[in-house]
Amino acid sequence: MTDLITMQNMVKIFPPNVTALDHVSVEFRKGEIHSIVGENGAGKSTLMKVLYGLVPPNDGVITFEGQQIRFHNPGEAIARGIGMVHQEILLISEYTVWENIVLGVEPVLSLGRMDRERARRQVKEKIEEFQFNLDPDVVVNDISVAARQKVEILKLLYRNVSVLILDEPTAVLTPQEIPQLFAELHRLGDNGHTILFVSHRLDEVLELSDRITVMRRGKKIDTVEVGSTSKEDLAHKMVGRDVIFTSRRTPKTPGDSIFKIEGLNFKSAEGRDLLKDINLEVCAGEIVGVAGVEGNGQFELVNTIMGLSEPKSGRILVKGEDITSASILDRRRLVAFVPQDRGKMGSALYASITENASMTHHLLNPSFTRWKGLLMNFHFAGLFTDELQELFSVNMSSKDSPFKSLSGGNQQKVILGRELLLPNPFILLDQPTRGLDVGSIEYVHEQILRMRSEDRAVLLISADLEEIFLLADRILVLSRGTIAGVRRVEDTSVEEIGLLMLQGQKEAV
Amino acid sequence: MIKKILTGLMGIFIALLLGALLMLLQGYNPIETYGALFQFSLFRPGPFATTLKNSVPLILTGLSASIAFASGVVNLGQPGQLLMGALAATLGGIYLDLPAPLMIPVLLLLGMLGGALWAGIAAFLRLAFNMNEFIVTLMLNMIADYFTAWAIAFPFMDKGANSPMTPPVNSSGWIPEVGGVNLSVLIMLIAVAASWFLFNKWRAGYEWRITGQNSLFARLGGCDTNKNFTAVMLVTGALAGLAGCLIILAGPHRFLRGLGANYAWDGIMVAIVANNGIIATLLYGIFFAAIQTGALGMELVTNVPSEISQVLQAVLVLVIVASRGVLETVVDRWDARRRVKEPAT
């Protein structure tokens, strides 16, 4: 096989001083499925965006079909046959599948009228050609996330791309939906399409790819044939050390009941039931995992626990204290909270690391203030931040630099440290490892298990089943705002939980 | 920090160059004009004292806007709060007659109270009815404008005057000059220092700053964001009120029609140029006051109309605000290019 695309000595520096790509050279062959793996911030997405014309490189040479190229925008890339599907799905939800697909390149009749018949027929032909099992006439709003992803891919195929870049496409899929996507990708590969697959999930990559390129900290570490590598080998290359994949959870009998939700209901402003009759309990020294496809009530559950929205009925209790309508500050005396969106809920990006680490502590721990709470004691806050850095091995240059200067993993460590160092009996974790790299995830998991051994009650909301199975004692499945099932982790399987997750979901079309 | 000062100075330099270009197009000698402008504002003791005095309301309203904006509170009511503060201090000065060491602090407090209460209305409407303070403070400006115009034309008008104005405040409330510098400058500096301390060292200031950046984070962290909002409104209202009070006590000693017309809007402009920094507000406030003050002297010795100072101000605002991002990007890009050239490691 010949090299279809070569990228030589690619350099990209994001101001002020983040070297996203450090002289990366890589070749992609025609018709192969080539995965690019790496931790977050390894530069894999940047490399693809450079190829696609979304990010201008500072240096380096790209060739495509033997010719030197450089795309200045995605339009030029698509015109040459290179297309990219992003993590976020960008479709018009009120339009039908075929309307979304032809949007921007509609076949026209005279006077600029759109040839709807021809457009629809062409889309239908494409669907049949690639056996995508998709109805061109349904409105995007009514189809599953997996189906929307197919629409995104078809959009590119309709534009006759020969190279497809997929950026973490499985992040939004349930375990049942992934094999189907892979089957389709294999079919495309057999068809002569080249597929570049960005991921950090090693199992998937091993299953799907022909070749795998591993990146670490902006550098290419290696490109390997799939037959000559293993998960452990890839993880080692990715992280630079050995990673343990098995759970270190030790058997433990849960203690007293700490956190309890009784008959919780929540309706949207339009009166839709978003949470229906939720009952759950978390005991001391127990981790309860909440599994479910995103958008099935997790957001509302977190908001009602934290006091951002008021439930219609039901009670929330921590250590017997009813906090259903307590102030946020009163909740925070009992609840430690790690939000899923670091930037939106968990930090002030331009404030210093110390200032971010002091939040909530400054209200609960008198040492953080002087003069009866009037003045901040930034000296003590600084010592606390040093301690946090030590305990949670945060990699930072100065505690006075802006929070933004930390990498994602280190930001999460600071937030996690801040919350876990609160003496609160109950810990609410909302996607605590989202967007983190393997090394950081391993670390966060360790800390969560430590909380369990300290007899704290942990409620872990996660879209990542692997994570839930690794950590949780009990698994609770949330589907369309109701609890579809509760299982002890020893008595269930990923398949069973996956089925429960899909119960009551819109059918994949 | 050094980068900030550097980009600020570069911005000023570029703006002055552009201003010079405009003067050349009009047929004026820019060097002579700038010379006169700064002679009559910064480089002679007398004019410099005047510049400082003129900078007081500019800096205080700028400070008010800076603190509000940096705390995520859109208080655009400085013009109204300034007028209400001025009116409160004037009335106190007319009807009270205390010895000066007592009189002046009382009138300062009255002025701050006037501004704070006026801002408090907007805070109340926000908390009680969720009315956006942005629009409410703007509307309150109009009400304050006409209310004070009515107050000085009818109930509190000086019977001996032939245009709307109040009688002068009792002379014990006049702020004296020491060595040619009006003591209102000292009061302003104290207010700046106190604000800096409040904003950077107090627990409340910490919560305000965090709220200004990410109010949801502050709220989830347990901060009482409603209480903080009210406090910011009251404090920034008090600062604008203090500005109005000092205009009266340092200058005409009575409330005249059209008093402090543009000070508050110019102050908001200073806050924007200063990117809501407290020290930067102080420095830019003095600089803008210098341009306004020097313009009059410049008109005396050159043919250049004093309106050129407004053009210059506008250019300064645009260049400094626009170049802030650009200049930093230029520096960053240059840095990136340098690093690309380094050999692969």
Structure confidence at residue B111 as a pLDDT band (50, 70, 90):
very high
The pLDDT of residue A413 is above 80: yes
Tell me if domain A3-239 and domain A244-334+424-509 are identical in fold. yes
By the CB < 8 Å criterion, does A328 face chain B? yes
| Residues A173 and A498: beta-carbon distance below 8 Å | no
Q: Which of A11, A332, A355 sits opposite B222 (nearest CB)?
A: A332
Inter-chain residue contact A11 with B340, CB threshold 8 Å: yes
Domain ranges of chain B: 55-302
- Set of chain A residues whose Cβ sits within 8 Å of the Cβ of B210: 348, 351, 355, 359
The pLDDT of residue A337 is above 90: yes
Inter-chain residue contact B202 with A373, CB threshold 8 Å: no
Beta bridge partners of A165: A84, A196
Inter-chain residue contact B202 with A308, CB threshold 8 Å: no
- Set of chain A residues whose Cβ sits within 8 Å of the Cβ of B344: 9, 22-23
Q: Which of A88-97, A201-210, B199-208, B254-263 has the highest mean pLDDT?
A: B199-208
The pLDDT of residue A508 is above 60: no
- Set of chain A residues whose Cβ sits within 8 Å of the Cβ of B335: 15-17
Residue B285 pLDDT: 94
- Set of chain A residues whose Cβ sits within 8 Å of the Cβ of B202: 374-376
Tens of pLDDT, residue by residue over A189-208, are 888 889 999 887 788 888 88
Residue B256 pLDDT: 86
Amino acid at A501: M
Q: Which residue of A has its CA nearest to B336?
A: A13
Residue A479 pLDDT: 83
| Residues A261 and A445: beta-carbon distance below 8 Å | no
Structure confidence at residue A509 as a pLDDT band (50, 70, 90):
very low
CA distance B109 to B88: 9
| Residues A78 and A85: beta-carbon distance below 8 Å | no
Q: Judged by CB atoms within 8 Å, which residues 208-267 of A form the interface with B?
A: none
> In terms of residues, how long is chain B?
345
Q: Which of A344, A348, A376 sits opposite B203 (nearest CB)?
A: A376
Chain B contacts to A (CB-CB under 8 A): 201-206, 209-210, 213-214, 216-224, 329, 332-333, 335-337, 339-340, 344-345
In terms of Cβ atoms closer than 10 Å to its own Cβ (0-12, 13-18, 19+), residue A482 is: middle
Q: Which residue of A has its CA nearest to B202?
A: A375
- Set of chain A residues whose Cβ sits within 8 Å of the Cβ of B336: 13, 15, 58
Inter-chain residue contact B217 with A375, CB threshold 8 Å: no
- Set of chain B residues whose Cβ sits within 8 Å of the Cβ of A411: none
Inter-chain residue contact A355 with B202, CB threshold 8 Å: no
Smallest Cα–Cα separation from B4: which of B342, B303, B278? B278
Residue A414 pLDDT: 92
- The residues near B112 (Cβ < 8 Å, ≥ 6 apart) are B85, B238, B239, B241, B242, B245
**Shortest CA gap A218–chain B (Å):** 12
By the CB < 8 Å criterion, does A44 face chain B? no
Q: Which of A252-256, B68-72, B304-308, B326-330 has the highest mean pLDDT?
A: B68-72
For residue A494 the two structure tokens come to 């990923």
Structure confidence at residue B252 as a pLDDT band (50, 70, 90):
confident
Could you list the beta-strand ranges (E) of chain B. 177-178, 181-182
Inter-chain residue contact B336 with A346, CB threshold 8 Å: no
CA distance B295 to B106: 35
ipTM of the complex: 0.82
Inter-chain residue contact A351 with B218, CB threshold 8 Å: no
In whole angstroms, what separates CA A316 from the centre of its chain?
28
By the CB < 8 Å criterion, does A308 face chain B? yes
Q: What percent of chain A has pLDDT over 70?
A: 95
Q: Please tell me whether residue B2 adopts helix, strand or coil conformation.
A: helix
Structure confidence at residue A246 as a pLDDT band (50, 70, 90):
low
Structure confidence at residue B345 as a pLDDT band (50, 70, 90):
very low
The pLDDT of residue A504 is above 60: no
CA distance A41 to A36: 13
Residue B172 pLDDT: 87
Q: Which of B203, B339, B344 sits opposite A362 (nearest CB)?
A: B203
HSE (CB half, 13 Å, CA atoms) of B199? 23
Q: What percent of chain A has pLDDT over 90?
A: 26
**Shortest CA gap A361–chain B (Å):** 9
The pLDDT of residue B228 is above 90: yes
The pLDDT of residue A368 is above 80: yes
Q: Which of B206, B209, B332 sits opposite A362 (nearest CB)?
A: B206
Mean pLDDT, residues B43-67 taken together:
91
Least confident of A268-277, B120-129, B273-282: A268-277
Fold classification of A244-334+424-509 is Rossmann fold (3.40.50)
Regarding beta strands A163-167 and A82-85, do their DSSP bridges make them parallel or antiparallel, or are they unpaired?
parallel
- A402: DSSP letter: B
Residue A16 pLDDT: 59
The pLDDT of residue A506 is above 60: no
Among A22, A308, A362, A414, the strongest candidate for a mutation testing the B interface, having the largest count of B CBs within 10 A, is: A362
The pLDDT of residue B261 is above 70: no
**Shortest CA gap B123–chain A (Å):** 21
The pLDDT of residue B81 is above 90: yes
3-state helix, strand, coil in chain B (%, to 5): 75, 0, 20
CA distance B14 to B10: 6
**Shortest CA gap A308–chain B (Å):** 8
- Set of chain B residues whose Cβ sits within 8 Å of the Cβ of A359: 210, 217-218, 221-222
Inter-chain residue contact B214 with A344, CB threshold 8 Å: yes
| Residues A132 and A191: beta-carbon distance below 8 Å | no
Residue B38 pLDDT: 87
Structure confidence at residue A399 as a pLDDT band (50, 70, 90):
confident
Residue B208 pLDDT: 95
Indicate the average pLDDT of chain A: 85
Q: Please tell me whether residue A92 adopts helix, strand or coil conformation.
A: coil
By the CB < 8 Å criterion, does A339 face chain B? yes
Inter-chain residue contact A22 with B216, CB threshold 8 Å: no
Q: Judged by CB atoms within 8 Å, which residues 356-395 of A form the interface with B?
A: 358-360, 362-364, 369, 373-376, 378
Q: Which residue of A has its CA nearest to B214?
A: A348
Q: Which residue of B has its CA nearest to A368?
A: B203
Residue A45 φ/ψ, nearest 5 degrees: -65, -40
The pLDDT of residue B110 is above 90: yes
**Superfamily for A3-239?**
P-loop containing nucleotide triphosphate hydrolases (3.40.50.300)
- Set of chain A residues whose Cβ sits within 8 Å of the Cβ of B337: 58
Q: Which of A17, A59, A306 sits opposite B220 (nearest CB)?
A: A306
**Shortest CA gap B216–chain A (Å):** 6
Mean pLDDT, residues A278-299 taken together:
87
Q: Which of B203, B210, B336 sits opposite A369 (nearest CB)?
A: B203
Inter-chain residue contact B210 with A359, CB threshold 8 Å: yes
**Shortest CA gap B229–chain A (Å):** 16
CA distance A206 to A225: 10
Inter-chain residue contact B222 with A364, CB threshold 8 Å: yes
Tens of pLDDT, residue by residue over A148-169, are 888 888 888 888 889 999 988 8
The pLDDT of residue A507 is above 50: no
Structure confidence at residue A40 as a pLDDT band (50, 70, 90):
low
Q: Which residue of A has its CA nearest to B198?
A: A375
Q: Which residue of B has its CA nearest to A13?
A: B336
Amino acid at A16: P
**Shortest CA gap A59–chain B (Å):** 7
In whole angstroms, what separates CA B60 from the centre of its chain?
4
Inter-chain residue contact B219 with A347, CB threshold 8 Å: no
Q: Please tell me whether residue A508 adopts helix, strand or coil conformation.
A: coil
Tens of pLDDT, residue by residue over B164-188, are 888 888 888 888 888 888 889 999 9
Domain ranges of chain A: 3-239, 244-334+424-509, 348-421
Higher pLDDT, B257 or B233: B233
- Set of chain A residues whose Cβ sits within 8 Å of the Cβ of B338: none
Higher pLDDT, A127 or B207: B207
By the CB < 8 Å criterion, does A58 face chain B? yes
**Shortest CA gap B3–chain A (Å):** 13
Inter-chain residue contact B221 with A332, CB threshold 8 Å: yes
Mean pLDDT, residues B227-233 taken together:
95
| Residues A85 and A149: beta-carbon distance below 8 Å | yes
